[in-house]
Chains A and B, each alone.
Chain A
């Protein structure tokens, strides 16, 4: 059974601080997605990474896919209150439509 563990589960930081969220598995994935979910809404896709070692940047967010395609990280620089939400990673396998979702990291950024 493929599992994706995220850490930390909860994170409360002050505005302006940096943070990193991790997504780990013992399984290899062909792609890894990161989503952000706000209360009362569905998850919204932030990024998809598909190549081992790939790094993608989205403004203050930096996403990295591990060399072995078993893990990923999300780094936020100078966090803002608008970054508050539930961050989910999801792993996909080649040729399949089914994504395995991680356990989630709940981030709260205090003004």
Chain B
């Protein structure tokens, strides 16, 4: 079956512009995560969605970052007024159920802010 997909795969933008990153989770997966990975480093948690519950936004680094999940499926991560330090790979993962279940990752979106 189809895995987690993300688009675009690469995004180059100018400092100060807004960007939207999209994640299509595996069908039926109720939990969805966004992570940021800087230059081959470990993953930094950004935000978590579970069903209709309020998302856990505790990892968002600033108020320039926001995310939504529509209809319990597709999610969009928006970065406003991008800065050079936002350059990273943004990874999305989904899991069938919350706590403790296997996370399936998408290939990521590589964001470069010039």
CA distance A97 to B44 in the complex (A): 14
Contact yes or no, A42 B40, CB < 8 A: no
Given A44-B105, A98-B56: A103 in contact with B41 (beta carbons within 8 A):
yes
Chain B: residues with Cβ within 8 Å of the partner, total of 24
- Measured CB to CB, the nearest residue on chain B to A92 is B100
Contact yes or no, B99 A104, CB < 8 A: no
Contact yes or no, A101 B56, CB < 8 A: no
At the interface, yes or no: B25 with Cβ under 8 Å from chain A?
no
At the interface, yes or no: A69 with Cβ under 8 Å from chain B?
no
B:12-61 near A, CB below 8 Å: 31, 33, 35, 40-45, 48, 50, 56
Contact yes or no, A45 B103, CB < 8 A: yes
At the interface, yes or no: A52 with Cβ under 8 Å from chain B?
no
Q: Which residues of B contact A6 (CB under 8 A)?
A: 42
At the interface, yes or no: B72 with Cβ under 8 Å from chain A?
no
Q: Which residues of A contact B111 (CB under 8 A)?
A: none
Residues 88-107 of chain B, each 1 if its beta carbon lies under 8 Å from chain A, else 0: 00010100001110110111
Contact yes or no, B42 A101, CB < 8 A: yes
Neighbour of B42 across the interface among A41, A45, A88, A92, CB < 8 A: A88
At the interface, yes or no: B4 with Cβ under 8 Å from chain A?
yes
Contact yes or no, B91 A42, CB < 8 A: yes
- Measured CB to CB, the nearest residue on chain B to A100 is B45
Neighbour of A41 across the interface among B31, B45, B107, CB < 8 A: B107
Name 30 A/B residue pairs within 8 A (Cβ), A-sorted: A31-B100, A40-B107, A41-B105, A42-B91, A42-B105, A42-B106, A43-B105, A44-B105, A45-B102, A86-B40, A88-B42, A90-B43, A92-B99, A92-B100, A94-B99, A96-B99, A97-B33, A97-B50, A97-B56, A97-B98, A98-B48, A98-B56, A99-B45, A100-B45, A101-B35, A102-B42, A103-B42, A104-B40, A104-B41, A104-B42
Q: 5 closest pairs, A vs B, by CB?
A: A42-B105, A101-B43, A101-B42, A97-B98, A97-B99
